[in-house]
C-alpha cells in the first residue's frame, strides 16, 4: 500500500488568468470573522482556473472528483470501504465515506477544529493526519478547501468518537463552530455542497461523465465500493455500484470482453519503488488490429501519455524481441519486431503513483517526470520477461500475433512501394468512372463523391459539367468493415479517388496537386450512407489531413423529403423541418389539406433536375464544411462502432445506456 501520495495537476488544467468569477464577492457583505477566514480562500474565488482548471464543465466536475479523491485516499490508507455519491435536486451533491471521519478536535496550530482547518485553509488537507498517513490533498493537489471556497454552501457531517458533528459554510466561510448534534456508533465523513453560480457558467452535473470517471476510479482502487445515484428527478432514481476486486486486471478483462484473447492469463505487475513510487501494469493481447492503452498517473488519466508510456513501449518491444529470438520464433537475421507491430491487438493499462508528478502538454495530461521512464522500463523488463518464461503458451500466442502484424506491415509496405513506383496513383491516367469537369483551375473545380451507380447517373446528368466532376463509388465494395485501413488503400474504389484528386498518398502526397478545391461527399441518408461517410472521413483523417486543414472537404446535405402541396413543391432537410412545414401548410387553409410527402432514401431516387436543384446547385445547396474535429470523431466512430473491438463498443453502449448494477467481472 502506498501512502501519502501527493497528486498533481488536473487532467485539463488551463492556467488562464482570463478565468475570473462572474462576480467577485464583495468584502463588505462579510462579517469580520468571515473576512479573516476568507483571506485564506480568497485567491481561489478570484482565480478558480488556477485551482480547478476553469469554470466550465470540467471545473464544475472537478469539485466532485476532489471530494471523492479524499475519500479514495482514506480508502487507500485502509480506513474506508464505501463511498457514496449522490446527485440531488437543485445541483446539490453529497459525497459520503465510512472512513475515520475528519478529526473535530482543536488543532494546535490553527486553534480551530481540524475539520474547519481542512475546509478553510488551502493545502491544509495533508498536514493534519496522525501517524504516517497524510491526505494527499486530493486529485488536483488542491484539497477540499477549494471545493468549499467555490460552493455557495457546504455542509460537513462527521461521525467520529461516538458523536455526530456538523459545520456549515457559505462561500468558504464558516457559519458556526463545529457542533455535536448526536451520537453515532459508526465513523465517516459526508460532504454536501452546492456549487456557486457566481463562479460557474452552469451548475448542471453530467451523469454519464460522472459514471465514466467513477467507474475508472473504482478500477484504479481495487476493493473500494463506489455507489452513485442520480436522485435529481423525483421517482426516477438511477444508481450504479462499482466494485472491482481485480483492479486494472479487471479493467483489462472488461475492455477485452467479447474479443478473442491471445494470452489467456492477463499479465499483471505491481512494484513499489523508492520514494513512494508505485508502478502497476496489466496487459493482454487480442486478435483485433488496433491498440487500446490507458495510462494514469496518480489516478489521473494521462490522455497524452508521457514518460510512463514511452518506458512501457520501449520495454515491451525489447522484451518481445528478446523472447522471440531466444525461443527461436525469430531467426537472428530476421528484422526486428517494431513498436508498431507490438501495438496491434494490445490492450494495456499503466497506472503509476508518485510524489509531485510533473504534468505537461497542451492539456496538462502528459506525464513529464523523467525518472518514470526508467522505472516503468525496469518493472516491465523484469516482470514481463518472467511472465513469458512462466507462460510459454501465452508467450507463443503473443509472439505469433506480433509476428503476423510484422508480416502484414512488410507486405503493405511492399504493395505501396510497387504502386508508388508504377506511378499508378499520380493522376496521369484518370479512372474510367470519373466524369471530369472541363474546367482545369482547381480553385473553380469541385468533385462529388457519390454512392452507387444510380446516384452517379443522376449526378452526371444533373451537374454543371464545366466545373463539377462526379466520381461514383460502389458502396458495398468500399464498405470493408473490420478491415485494416491499409487494405482499403489497395481497394480499387479508393485508388480511383486518390487518382482523381491527383495528390497521391503517403510520402508522395502533395496537397498542391489537388485537382479540386471542393471535395464533396454525397452519400445517402441511411445507415449504409453514414457508414460510407464515416469511412471516407476516416480515410481523409488518417491519410489526407492537409485536405481537411485546407478547408477542401465538404459533406453534401441532400433533402430528406419532398413535400408536394398543390402545384408547389418543397424540399425539407430534417424531420423537424418537415413537421414545421406540414404544420404551416395545414394551418394556412385552417383545414386538412392534402400533402404528398415523398421520402428520399437515396440520391439515386432523385431525378437529375431534383438532384441539381437540391444538392448540387451552388445557389441553393447546403454544404457542411468538414473540420478536423468532425473527421477525428468519425475516426473514433470507425474504431468504436465499425471495428471489431468489442470493448470500446460495449463501453460506449454501456455509458449510453441505463443499468442498475455493474459489479466486478
- Residues in 171-210 that interact with ligand 0RA by CB under 6 A: 189
Residue 654 C-alpha cell reads as 454501456
CB atoms within 10 A of CB 184: 17
Considering only 95-103, 232-240, 420-428, 575-583, which stretch makes contact with ligand 0RA by CB under 6 A? 95-103
CB atoms within 10 A of CB 44: 24
Query: According to CB under 6 A, which one of 97, 152, 394, 446 is a site residue for ligand 0RA?
Result: 97
Query: According to CB under 6 A, which one of 34, 74, 394, 635 is a site residue for ligand 0RA?
Result: 74
CB nearer to ligand 0RA: give 6 or 100: 100
Find where cell 461514383 sits. Answer: 472
Considering only 8-16, 96-104, 462-470, 641-649, which stretch makes contact with ligand 0RA by CB under 6 A? 96-104
Crossing angle of helices 207-220/57-76, nearest 10°? 30
CB 93, min distance to ligand 0RA, A: 13
- Contact in structure between 471 and 433 (CB atoms under 8 Å): yes
- Contact in structure between 205 and 87 (CB atoms under 8 Å): yes
CB nearer to ligand 0RA: give 127 or 495: 127
Q: Tell me which of 58, 451, 610, 613 is the catalytic residue.
A: 451
| Max CA separation in the chain (angstroms) | 89
- Contact in structure between 231 and 89 (CB atoms under 8 Å): yes
The verdict on whether 528 is a catalytic residue reads yes
CB 232, min distance to ligand 0RA, A: 23
Q: Tell me which of 69, 74, 394, 524 is the catalytic residue.
A: 524
CA distance 470 to 455: 10
CB 248, min distance to ligand 0RA, A: 24
CB nearer to ligand 0RA: give 74 or 280: 74
Closest CA to 210 of 354, 62, 309: 62
**Neighbouring residues of 474: CB distance < 8 A, sequence distance ≥ 6:** 452, 453, 493
CB nearer to ligand 0RA: give 138 or 311: 138
- Contact in structure between 232 and 254 (CB atoms under 8 Å): no
CB 83, min distance to ligand 0RA, A: 9
CB nearer to ligand 0RA: give 104 or 252: 104
Q: Does 70 bind ligand 0RA (CB under 6 A)?
A: yes
CA distance 238 to 231: 7
The verdict on whether 451 is a catalytic residue reads yes
Q: Does 342 bind ligand 0RA (CB under 6 A)?
A: no
Q: How far apart are the first and last CA of the chain?
A: 23
Closest CA to 166 of 175, 157, 177, 174: 157
- Contact in structure between 278 and 2 (CB atoms under 8 Å): yes
CB nearer to ligand 0RA: give 3 or 513: 3
CA distance 395 to 546: 41
CB 77, min distance to ligand 0RA, A: 8
Residue 403 C-alpha cell reads as 509476428
Q: Does 103 bind ligand 0RA (CB under 6 A)?
A: yes
Query: According to CB under 6 A, which one of 51, 65, 128, 267 is a site residue for ligand 0RA?
Result: 128
Query: According to CB under 6 A, which one of 10, 21, 129, 558 is a site residue for ligand 0RA?
Result: 129
CB 225, min distance to ligand 0RA, A: 15
- Contact in structure between 330 and 323 (CB atoms under 8 Å): no
Angle at 651 between CA 406 and CA 399, to 5 degrees: 20
Q: Is 663 helix (H, G, I), strand (E, B) or coil?
A: strand
CA distance 177 to 103: 14
Considering only 58-66, 69-77, 300-308, 396-404, which stretch makes contact with ligand 0RA by CB under 6 A? 69-77
Q: Is 510 helix (H, G, I), strand (E, B) or coil?
A: coil
CB atoms within 10 A of CB 472: 23
Q: Is the dihedral of CA 18, 20, 23, 27 positive or negative?
A: negative
CB atoms within 10 A of CB 256: 23
Q: What is the CA radius of gyration of the chain?
A: 30
CB 115, min distance to ligand 0RA, A: 8
Query: According to CB under 6 A, which one of 102, 279, 398, 498 is a site residue for ligand 0RA?
Result: 102
Q: Tell me which of 389, 526, 564, 575 is the catalytic residue.
A: 526
- Residues in 348-407 that interact with ligand 0RA by CB under 6 A: none
Closest CA to 454 of 437, 475, 469: 475
Q: Does 99 bind ligand 0RA (CB under 6 A)?
A: yes
The verdict on whether 524 is a catalytic residue reads yes
Binding residues for ligand 0RA, how many (CB under 6 A)? 15
CA distance 12 to 58: 8
- CB-closest chain residue to ligand 0RA: 70
Considering only 46-54, 128-136, 536-544, 586-594, which stretch makes contact with ligand 0RA by CB under 6 A? 128-136
CB nearer to ligand 0RA: give 194 or 495: 194
Tell me the residue ranges of DSSP E strands in 479-545: 518-522
CB nearer to ligand 0RA: give 70 or 298: 70
The verdict on whether 526 is a catalytic residue reads yes
Q: Does 142 bind ligand 0RA (CB under 6 A)?
A: no
CB nearer to ligand 0RA: give 129 or 141: 129
Query: According to CB under 6 A, which one of 76, 135, 324, 449 is a site residue for ligand 0RA?
Result: 135
CB 81, min distance to ligand 0RA, A: 13
CB 100, min distance to ligand 0RA, A: 4
CB 142, min distance to ligand 0RA, A: 13
CB nearer to ligand 0RA: give 156 or 606: 156
Q: Is 252 helix (H, G, I), strand (E, B) or coil?
A: helix
Residues designated catalytic: 451, 524, 526, 528
Q: Tell me which residues touch ligand 0RA (CB under 6 A).
A: 70-71, 74, 97, 99-100, 102-103, 118, 128-130, 135, 144, 189
Amino acid at each position: 500500500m502506498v501512502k501519502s501520495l501527493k497528486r498533481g495537476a488536473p487532467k485539463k488544467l488551463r492556467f488562464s488568468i482570463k478565468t475570473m468569477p462572474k462576480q467577485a464577492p464583495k468584502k463588505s457583505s462579510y462579517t469580520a470573522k468571515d473576512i479573516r477566514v476568507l483571506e485564506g480562500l480568497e485567491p481561489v474565488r478570484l482565480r478558480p482556473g488556477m485551482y480547478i482548471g476553469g469554470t466550465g464543465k470540467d471545473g464544475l466536475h472537478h469539485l466532485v472528483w476532489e471530494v471523492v479523491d479524499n475519500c479514495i485516499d482514506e480508502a487507500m490508507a485502509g480506513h474506508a470501504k464505501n463511498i457514496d455519491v449522490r446527485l440531488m435536486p437543485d445541483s446539490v451533491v453529497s459525497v459520503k465515506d465510512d472512513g475515520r471521519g475528519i478529526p473535530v478536535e482543536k488543532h494546535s496550530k490553527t486553534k480551530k477544529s481540524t475539520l474547519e482547518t481542512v475546509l478553510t485553509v488551502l493545502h491544509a488537507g495533508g498536514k493534519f493526519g496522525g501517524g504516517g498517513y497524510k491526505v494527499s490533498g486530493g486529485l488536483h493537489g488542491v484539497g477540499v478547501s477549494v471545493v468549499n471556497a467555490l460552493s455557495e454552501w457546504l455542509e460537513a457531517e462527521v461521525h467520529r468518537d461516538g458523536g455526530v458533528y456538523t459545520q456549515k459554510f457559505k462561500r468558504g466561510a464558516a457559519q458556526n463552530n463545529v457542533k455535536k448534534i448526536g451520537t453515532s456508533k459508526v465513523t465517516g465523513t459526508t460532504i454536501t455542497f452546492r456549487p456557486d453560480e457566481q463562479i460557474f457558467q452552469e451548475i448542471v452535473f453530467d451523469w454519464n461523465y460522472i459514471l465514466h470517471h467513477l467507474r475508472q476510479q473504482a478500477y484504479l482502487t481495487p476493493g473500494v465500493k463506489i455507489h452513485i445515484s442520480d436522485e435529481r428527478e423525483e421517482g426516477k432514481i438511477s444508481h450504479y455500484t462499482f466494485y472491482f476486486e481485480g483492479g486494472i486486471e479487471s479493467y483489462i478483462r472488461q475492455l477485452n470482453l467479447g474479443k478473442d484473447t491471445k494470452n489467456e492469463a492477463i499479465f499483471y505487475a505491481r512494484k513499489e519503488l523508492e520514494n513512494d513510487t508505485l508502478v502497476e501494469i496489466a496487459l493482454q493481447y487480442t486478435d483485433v488490429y488496433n491498440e487500446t492503452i490507458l495510462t494514469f498517473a496518480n489516478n489521473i488519466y494521462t490522455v497524452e501519455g508521457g514518460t510512463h508510456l514511452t518506458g512501457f513501449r520501449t520495454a515491451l518491444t525489447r522484451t518481445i524481441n528478446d523472447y522471440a529470438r531466444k525461443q527461436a520464433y525469430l531467426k537472428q537475421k530476421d528484422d526486428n519486431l517494431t513498436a508498431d507491430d507490438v501495438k496491434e491487438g494490445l490492450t494495456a493499462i499503466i497506472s503509476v503513483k508518485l510524489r509531485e508528478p510533473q504534468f505537461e502538454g497542451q492539456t496538462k495530461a502528459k506525464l513529464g517526470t523523467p525518472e518514470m521512464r526508467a522505472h516503468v522500463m525496469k518493472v516491465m523488463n523484469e516482470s514481463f520477461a518472467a511472465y513469458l518464461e512462466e507462460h510459454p503458451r501465452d508467450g507463443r500466442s503473443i509472439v505469433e500475433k506480433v509476428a503476423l502484424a510484422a508480416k502484414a506491415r512488410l507486405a503493405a509496405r511492399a504493395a505501396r512501394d510497387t504502386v508508388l513506383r508504377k506511378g499508378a496513383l499520380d493522376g496521369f491516367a484518370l479512372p474510367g468512372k470519373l466524369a471530369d469537369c472541363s474546367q482545369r483551375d482547381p480553385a473553380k473545380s469541385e468533385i462529388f463523391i457519390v454512392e452507387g451507380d444510380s446516384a452517379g447517373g443522376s449526378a452526371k446528368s444533373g451537374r454543371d459539367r464545366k466545373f463539377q466532376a462526379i466520381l461514383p463509388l460502389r458502396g458495398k465494395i468500399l464498405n470493408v468493415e473490420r478491415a485494416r485501413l491499409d487494405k482499403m488503400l489497395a481497394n480499387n474504389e479508393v485508388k480511383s479517388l486518390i487518382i482523381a484528386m491527383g495528390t497521391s498518398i503517403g510520402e508522395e502526397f502533395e496537397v498542391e496537386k489537388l485537382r479540386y478545391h471542393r471535395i464533396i461527399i454525397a452519400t445517402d441518408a441511411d445507415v449504409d450512407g453514414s457508414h460510407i461517410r464515416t469511412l471516407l472521413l476516416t480515410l481523409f483523417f488518417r491519410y489526407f489531413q492537409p485536405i481537411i486543414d485546407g478547408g477542401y472537404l465538404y459533406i453534401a446535405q441532400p433533402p430528406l423529403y419532398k413535400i408536394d402541396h398543390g402545384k408547389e413543391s418543397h424540399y425539407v432537410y430534417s424531420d423537424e423541418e418537415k413537421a414545421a412545414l406540414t404544420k404551416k401548410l395545414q394551418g394556412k387553409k385552417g383545414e386538412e389539406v392534402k400533402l404528398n410527402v415523398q421520402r428520399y432514401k437515396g440520391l439515386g431516387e432523385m431525378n437529375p433536375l431534383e438532384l441539381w436543384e437540391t444538392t448540387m446547385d451552388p445557389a441553393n445547396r447546403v454544404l457542411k464544411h468538414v473540420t478536423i474535429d468532425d473527421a477525428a470523431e468519425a475516426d473514433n466512430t470507425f474504431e468504436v462502432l465499425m471495428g471489431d473491438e468489442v470493448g470500446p463498443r460495449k463501453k460506449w453502449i454501456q455509458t449510453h445506456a441505463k443499468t442498475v448494477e455493474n459489479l466486478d467481472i
